[in-house]
Structure 1
Amino acid sequence: MNLDAQHPLSSGLTADSSLIRAYQGVRPAQTPVWFMRQAGRSLPEYRDLRVGTDMLDACLDPAMASEITLQPVRRHRVDAGIFFSDIVVPLRLVGVDVEIVPGRGPVLGTAVRTRADVATLVSLDPSVLDAGLAPIREAVTRTTDELGATPLIGFAGAPFTLAAYLVEGGPSKDHIHARTLMHADPAAWADLMAWTAAVTGRFLRAQVLAGASAAQLFDSWAGALSQADYVRYVAPASAQAISHVRDLTYLERPADEAADPQEVRRNVPVVHFGVGTGELLADMHAIGADVVGVDYRIPLDEANRRLGGTVPLQGNVDPALLAAPWPVLEAHVLDVLERGRSAPSHVLNLGHGVPPETDPGVLTRLVGLVHEAGRASASA
């Protein structure tokens, strides 16, 4: 399916940005940088805006969600915005009883533990999201109108991470109930994963159609799985979730039509990121992702080796070092940039999200360091 002609990719507004080029495997002169969880809790302007508003209510307020998305772009001059929302938003909109409890995270009214529980859950029709996601589409459109040539990244939770919250009833350290259901009742598990794939895939598609220039699938809890379990019980559903955006394409017009009049059809780039998934990188790429996000546990050059040296990478500054003395952080960031040169292309990011206590000034300085390193490399 072709994106609308006014979409930022189709119109050419974001198609030649450093982020999109890097996601396509082309190394730009300057390494693009953005931060997971940059939109939100580390910024004082975010905390001021959120006073008196619950998290999910903020996500479903188009004006507020847009403003929060834009705040770090204005402040830090990052090379992309990441849409402010939460992976459980589509669960709420489809009718699941879920709240985000401050200091804890998503908490479900009822855990999904049995075949009967799964049957009740999957009776909720994901197609209601076609209308229910209107606030999300409005927020994305508001945001991209303001961002101009800076691309917006849409995101969604991978089916396993959503399923883990549903089965556990909330956050968990080992996801024992989810892994038990996976093996104790594979048929019920397959039904649950197919449903979460449909729900989260529609969420991701709505953001891209509304104007996001890339899509990122977060599998926060996939690191709890063995490789065999991931491949057998999880990867097919993740591939199904991504399929909701894999068919979205646009025509890229050549910069010099006189010299090269050929248009190129491209897909919307898809990033797949997981926590503690160093042993799963190749399998996470194989579901249909263009780019693999790497957490802070393995160096980028090793991740590149495991992926065969052909996959664009994103990552992987250790968030803990954001509170370290600047010379320590600076040396670490430069090392990440150097290791990232082994890959076809690299987008600098964190190996997980911005901690809430992070000094925003450090993030701004880090962006400046990455951009300056790119300028120095280009002039060398």
Structure 2
Amino acid sequence: MTTFNDTILKAFRGEETDYTPVWYMRQAGRSQKEYRELKKKYSLFEITHQPELCAYVTKLPVDMYNVDAAVLYKDIMSPLPAIGVDVEIQSGIGPVIENPIKSLKDVEKLGTIDPESDVPYVLETIRILTKEQLQVPLIGFSGAPFTIASYMIEGGPSKNYHRTKALMYSDPKAWFALMDKLADMTITYVNAQIQAGAQAIQIFDSWVGALNVADYRTYIKPIMQHIFTELRKNNVPLILFGVGASHLVKEWNDLPVDVIGLDWRLSIREARNLDVTKALQGNLDPAFLLSDWATVEKKVKEIIDEGKQYPSHVFNLGHGVTPEINPDRLKKLTEFIHTYSKQA
């Protein structure tokens, strides 16, 4: 019988491990041949609505790459239809929302989520994976209120988040009403994932780096404090990650999280020099995986060596796997991380 590998949970909790554990954001899907064949038949939402199929996609990279955790295959938009948001994920664009938020009246129209009735397929996928299939932990996730709100206000992806910031600055009553709605949704949705069997949670505040520190403290940090305080009651590791948010890591360090995910803009050593004390996750730039192996190996050694100097480190990419990355490269990378970190 295969022994359950809980190495990554130990690292998330700041405990010493025999090697540096690794998982990759967007490891399920994107560059895998098997996944691309499935996407010819099904959309993302169609896959997630079929628990057996979704479990297969989630487990595929664990089998292919030998990573130390699975991450549930779904999208941060998955819970939004339940609260009344008309969202469609369009190929080459991303989430597109037909009824963007413009005022307090729009916020007040939003409903609440009941995971067992609104997203039962998500919970069933978790149960299938954790009870029957996985020998590594399953990471569940949710989008954070700012990042979710940015799509809801902009109507889709944005480069500058001008509409989002404008609502935040000009109508704080509507803004905080929206934050409270999304915080409640996040807490309820994540609690359900944990109760179904998810053993760690990552909160993606992907686009919050668009805010400066002062605005983060005013408009976002109290909401995140509330979310993580509630989620901590479950006693599972909590990870916070954002892109281009290096200037916010000291603020994140104050929050009741276990792990801070870094993108490639801030090294592990630089984060520690800022007195960040949490376990760290990251942070190879995915672009390295399109270069020659010697270049990859040099950079990976540097990241592992820095991580080994402090407790504790989980290897990951600084953002998600891109479609161009060869799955064989990820398999080789995982093997190298495991082997080198045991020796380092």
Is contact 1:155-1:217 (8 Å) kept? yes
Q: 1:244 to 1:147 in 2, by over 3 A?
A: farther
SS at match of 2:101: coil
The structure 2 residue matched to 1:313, chosen from 280, 292, 299, is: 280
Question: 1:24 matched to which residue of 2?
Answer: 13
Question: 2:152 matched to which residue of 1?
Answer: 166
Paired-residue identity, %: 40
The structure 1 residue matched to 2:253, chosen from 285, 293, 296, is: 285
Q: What does 1:354-369 align with in structure 2 at a 5 Å threshold?
A: 354-369=321-336
Query: Does 1:333 pair with 2:300?
Result: yes
Question: 1:152 matched to which residue of 2?
Answer: 138
Q: What does 1:166-185 align with in structure 2 at a 5 Å threshold?
A: 166-185=152-171
User: What is the CA–CA distance in structure 1 between the aligned matches of 2:152 and 2:228, rounded to whole Å?
Assistant: 20
Question: 2:82 matched to which residue of 1?
Answer: 93
Is contact 1:19-1:79 (8 Å) kept? yes
Normalising by structure 2, we get a TM-score of 0.96
Q: CA deviation at 1:147?
A: 4.1
Is contact 1:18-1:32 (8 Å) kept? yes
User: What is the CA–CA distance in structure 2 between the aligned matches of 1:243 and 1:62, rounded to whole Å?
Assistant: 30
Q: What does 1:1-380 align with in structure 2 at a 5 Å threshold?
A: 17-121=6-110, 124-126=111-113, 128-248=114-234, 267-306=235-274, 308=275, 310-377=277-344
User: What is the CA–CA distance in structure 2 between the aligned matches of 1:146 and 1:363, rounded to whole Å?
Assistant: 25
What is the one-letter code of the residue matched to 1:160?
Answer: F
User: What is the CA–CA distance in structure 1 between the aligned matches of 2:133 and 2:39, rounded to whole Å?
Assistant: 21
CA offset digits 1:313-333 (Å, max 9, x no partner): 000001111100110011011
Q: 1:140 to 1:25 in 2, by over 3 A?
A: same
Q: CA deviation at 1:28?
A: 0.4
Q: Which consecutive residues of structure 1, in runs of 5 or more, have no partner in the other structure? A: 1-12, 249-266
Q: Which consecutive residues of structure 2, in runs of 5 or more, have no partner in the other structure? A: none
Deviating more after overlay: 310-319 vs 200-209: 200-209
RMSD: 1.5
Normalising by structure 1, we get a TM-score of 0.87
CA offset digits 1:128-187 (Å, max 9, x no partner): 334212111100011113444310111110111001110001000011111111110111
SS at match of 2:109: helix
User: What is the CA–CA distance in structure 2 between the aligned matches of 1:160 and 1:225, rounded to whole Å?
Assistant: 10
Segments of 4+ moved more than 6 angstroms:
none
Is contact 2:59-2:134 (8 Å) kept? no
SS at match of 1:247: helix
SS at match of 1:292: strand
Q: CA deviation at 1:244?
A: 4.2
**Count of residues in correspondence between the two structures:** 342
Q: CA deviation at 1:284?
A: 1.7
SS at match of 1:106: strand
User: What is the CA–CA distance in structure 2 between the aligned matches of 1:273 and 1:343, rounded to whole Å?
Assistant: 19
User: What is the CA–CA distance in structure 1 between the aligned matches of 2:144 and 2:112, rounded to whole Å?
Assistant: 18
User: What is the CA–CA distance in structure 1 between the aligned matches of 2:115 and 2:284, rounded to whole Å?
Assistant: 35
Is contact 1:304-1:342 (8 Å) kept? no
CA offset digits 1:177-202 (Å, max 9, x no partner): 11111110111100000111111222
Deviating more after overlay: 133-142 vs 183-192: 133-142
User: What is the CA–CA distance in structure 2 between the aligned matches of 1:201 and 1:320, rounded to whole Å?
Assistant: 34
Deviating more after overlay: 49-58 vs 189-198: 49-58
Q: 1:235 to 1:60 in 2, by over 3 A?
A: farther
Q: CA deviation at 1:286?
A: 2.1
